[in-house]
C-alpha cells in the first residue's frame, strides 16, 4: 500500500501552478480597455478644459471627434503612445504652457488616467 500512495502524493504535490480564481473584477489584464472615454476622460475634459477648448476655434474637447482632430498645433493624441501626445505634454508641463491655463493643474491620477486611455488606443468607448 505504501508503494502506491507515494506516487499519488508526488503527483498531488507537483510544482505546476494553480490558476488563480477569477474574482470577477478588472485585474488590468488583457481583457480589454480599463479606461473609458465617456466615463473617465470626457468628465475631466468637461470639468477642466472645455471652458477654453469648447469649439471656438483651435482645439475642441467637447467631443471625441474634436479631441482626436486636434487643433491649430495639430493632433494632440497619438493613440497608443502617450509619450508622443501633445495633450500629455501640455498637461504635465513638458511643453509650455501647462494646461489648464490660469487654473490648478490636473492631479497626477487624472493625468495617469488620460495616459492609460491613450496607451489603450484612445478609443471612443
CB-based contact 105:18 (threshold 8 Å): no
> Quick one: pLDDT at residue 56?
64
pLDDT of 13 > 80? The answer is no
Model confidence at 21, pLDDT cuts 50, 70, 90, reads very low
pTM above 0.95? no
Query: pLDDT grade, residue 12 (50/70/90)?
Result: very low
Distance CA 87, CA 60 (A): 12
> Could you tell me the residue ranges of all domains in the chain?
34-125
Q: Contact, 51 vs 59, CB < 8 A?
A: no
User: pLDDT per residue over 47-97, tens digit each?
Assistant: 999 999 997 668 999 999 999 999 999 999 999 999 999 999 999 999 999
Amino acid at each position: 500500500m505504501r508503494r502506491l500512495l507515494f506516487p499519488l502524493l508526488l503527483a498531488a504535490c507537483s510544482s505546476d501552478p494553480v490558476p488563480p480564481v477569477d474574482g470577477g473584477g478588472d485585474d488590468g489584464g488583457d481583457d480589454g480597455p480599463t479606461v473609458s472615454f465617456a466615463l473617465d476622460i470626457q468628465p475631466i475634459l468637461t470639468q477642466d478644459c472645455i471652458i477654453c477648448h469648447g469649439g471656438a476655434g483651435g482645439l475642441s474637447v467637447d467631443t471625441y471627434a474634436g479631441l482626436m482632430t486636434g487643433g491649430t498645433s495639430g493632433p494632440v493624441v497619438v493613440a497608443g503612445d502617450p509619450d508622443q501626445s501633445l495633450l500629455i505634454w501640455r498637461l504635465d508641463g513638458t511643453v509650455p504652457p501647462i494646461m489648464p491655463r490660469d487654473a490648478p493643474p490636473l492631479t497626477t491620477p487624472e493625468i495617469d488616467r488620460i495616459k492609460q486611455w491613450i496607451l489603450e488606443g484612445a478609443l471612443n468607448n
